[in-house]
Amino acid sequence: MDRFARVILGFHGCEEAFARELLTRPDAVNEWKVSRNDYDWLGWGIYFWEHAPERALEWAVQRGYQEPAVIGAVVQLGRCFDLMNIVSTRLLARAYRRAKEEADADGRELPKNMGGRDLKARRLDCYVINACLESSPEPEFQTVRGAFLEGDEVYEGAMIREQSHVQVAVRDPACILGVFRPILRR
């Protein structure tokens, strides 16, 4: 890991029992289940809202958890595939072109992003990001970071949305330096 890699505070919406387990069992972080849904916005990983504990709680509530909770984590981004950096977005564009050429040659279609205005089912993005990272000549990326406009306009004509956020997918649990219970504003 790059010893000068940026450190962020990430917040993960979950069930209360899972939050308690992470706080009381030091080895539980190493067993944290990686999300491998075909619609994960940033590809496979353990998902965090960067510096947004209230958004993590809102997500846990919307998810329908019986006892919604939030766990905070100190995350060192390490070798980060940062989608707010043109180096990463250019790699991603090349990966898409390769994936499209391969799909066309095989006579199949690529997955599609779906799910209303916000396209919450990011099947194409997940597919391309995973393909990009798996074929990268770079050392393995440990995290993926991206910004998303989400939700209703804050006011008419705004490009600012109510649920906009920066999200981080941790692919290497060694990047999670520690966990804590955040204080939430309700």
d(CA 73, CA 153): 29
> What domain range is 78 assigned to?
7-180
DSSP per-residue string spanning 41-97: BTBSBEEEEET-HHHHHHHHHHTT-SSEEEEEEEEE--SEEETTSHHHHHHHHHHHH
pLDDT score of 4: 60
CB 80 within 8 A of CB 142: yes
SS3 at position 37: coil
Model pTM? 0.90
The answer to whether 174 and 1 have CB atoms below 8 angstroms apart is yes
Chain position carrying tokens 């309700």: 186
Rounded-to-integer distance, Cα 176 and Cα 173, Å: 5
CB distance 73 to 79 below 8 Å? no
Residue bearing tokens 């906009």: 164
- The residue with tokens 């290497």 is 172
Angle separating helix axes 123-135 and 86-106, nearest 10 degrees: 100
Query: In whole angstroms, what is the distance from residue 58 CA to residue 52 CA?
Result: 10
Let me know if residue 16 belongs to a domain. Answer: yes
Would you say residue 41 lies in a domain? yes
Does residue 1 form part of some domain? no
pLDDT of residue 162: 85
Residues lower than pLDDT 50 in the chain: none
Task: Give the number of other Cβ atoms within 10 Å of residue 90's Cβ.
Answer: 10
Residue 131 lies in a domain: yes
In a domain, 2, yes or no: no
pLDDT at position 157: 86
Residue 147: alpha-carbon gap to chain centroid: 10
Domain membership of residue 50 (yes or no) is yes
Domain count across the chain? 1
Does 185 fall in a domain? no
pLDDT of amino acid 61: 96
Q: Does 151 map to a domain?
A: yes
What span, in angstroms and rounded, lies between the C-alpha atoms of 56 and 51? 10
